[in-house]
Copies of this chain bind each other. A is one copy, B any other.
Amino acid sequence: MDITVAVDAMGGDHGTHVTVPAVLRFLKEFPHVNVVLVGLPDVLAVELKACHATVGPRLRVHAASEVVTMDESPQSAMKNKKDSSMRVAINLVKSGEANACVSAGNTGALMATARFVLKTIPGIDRPAIAKMMPSSRNETCVLDLGANAVCTPHNILQFAIMGSSLVAATRHIENPTVGLLNIGSEDQKGNETVKEASELLKASRLNFQGNVEGNDIYRGSVDVVTCDGFTGNVALKASEGLAKMLADFLKQEFTRSWWTRIIALLAWPVLARFKARVDPRRYNGASLLGLKGIVVKSHGSADKVAFYWALRQAMDEARSGVIQRITEQVQDQLAELAAQETAVE
């Protein structure tokens, strides 16, 4: 099946300088995808020319006259920029002209606009931001990573259902294991929300493994880690900060003298392999889950490689029918919960 991805070409810190080259690589590597570049036509024309690329059946340009800035409030973006590249890209998903969209624009505006335009899947109260993270075993899907600072136990259950559906669809894992992020493995740990979420998860049809701790994300103890957006965001950012510090320190040590620089040259193939395994750019595509359409968020500071991986994430989701899967799973789980409640009555 051919997939069409709408790209907010203006979003992110580097705009078209990053999005257009990434799209060209993406089109070259995947013959069965098409891309619609959404943005200011003049700017796109210049960038395409610089890249020696021309539009055609697989690469179209869709005009949008406005750009949401990186520090703009969601309210301002929604109210004043109805023809923004971000919004028009989402509109293309809504109308069915695209199977997914990708934006490196500001997260708040993207979430608010996507929710307004696409609406949430029935049974999902609030969308969440999900991301695959590297782990010692495989990959771990973690959500919510910051869309919802305050969550109810039901929100956390819904995040688990969505994460499980995403992993099942895109990673072809039959019945993904799910863990609840907590500060200990015992049942009595954590706050009230977490304790109640644990009960809901136990009663669900999910493959729930109980509480997990922060380190389990990277141990790969479970396929999906569910948590409120405050905790998830702090865990993600702390990890990003630590990874950056370690990378900086490693670089400092290898560039300390001419001798260490020679060693660095010799060690280069080893270090390159190491870097490739944990390269955060490969994990750049964050999914806005729970919407009636596929929206992938790229980091604002993404480079061409990182943005290319976000495009792949969108393609994988579109190909695997993740929206359909979430919709079915939610109905299924809600029916189960309703049946249990009836039985209790």
Contacts and interface: CB of A to CB of B under 8 A. Distances in A.
Interface string A219-249: 1000000010111011111111111111011
Contact of A242 (B181, B233, B243, B266): B243
Contact of A150 (B191, B217, B245, B263): B191
Contact of A214 (B218, B234, B267, B270): B234
A136 interface: yes
Interface stretch (A60-68, A273-281, A310-318): A273-281
Copies of this chain present: 2
Contact of A233 (B183, B237, B240, B256): B183
B260 A274 contact: no
Contacts of A218: 238, 241-242, 244-245
B241 A238 contact: no
User: Of residues A214, A235, A242, A273, which shows the largest number of chain B Cβ atoms within 10 Å of its Cβ?
Assistant: A242
Contact of A183 (B181, B213, B234, B253): B234
Contacts of A192: 150
A96 interface: no
Interface residue tally of chain A, by bracket?
35 or more
A271 B194 CA distance: 41
A134 interface: yes
Interface SS of chain A: helix
Contacts of A214: 233-241
A135 interface: yes
User: Of residues A214, A236, A241, A263, which shows the largest number of chain B Cβ atoms within 10 Å of its Cβ?
Assistant: A241
A189 interface: yes
Contact of A219 (B213, B216, B241, B267): B241
Contacts of A239: 214, 238-239, 242
B266 A241 contact: no
A88 B248 CA distance: 45
Nearest to A238: B214
A250 interface: yes
A153 interface: no
A149 interface: yes
Interface string A183-218: 100000111101000000000000000000111111
Given A215-B237, A234-B213, A277 B249 contact: yes
A148 to B, nearest CB: 10
A274 B249 contact: yes
A146 interface: yes
Contacts of A150: 191-192
Contacts of A194: 230
A190 B235 contact: no
Interface in A137-165: 146, 149-150
Interface in A258-306: 260, 263-264, 266-267, 270-271, 273-274, 277-278
9 contacts: A214-B234, A214-B239, A218-B245, A242-B242, A245-B278, A249-B274, A249-B278, A263-B266, A266-B267
Closest 9 CB pairs of A and B: A215-B241, A214-B237, A214-B238, A218-B241, A183-B233, A218-B245, A235-B238, A214-B234, A253-B274
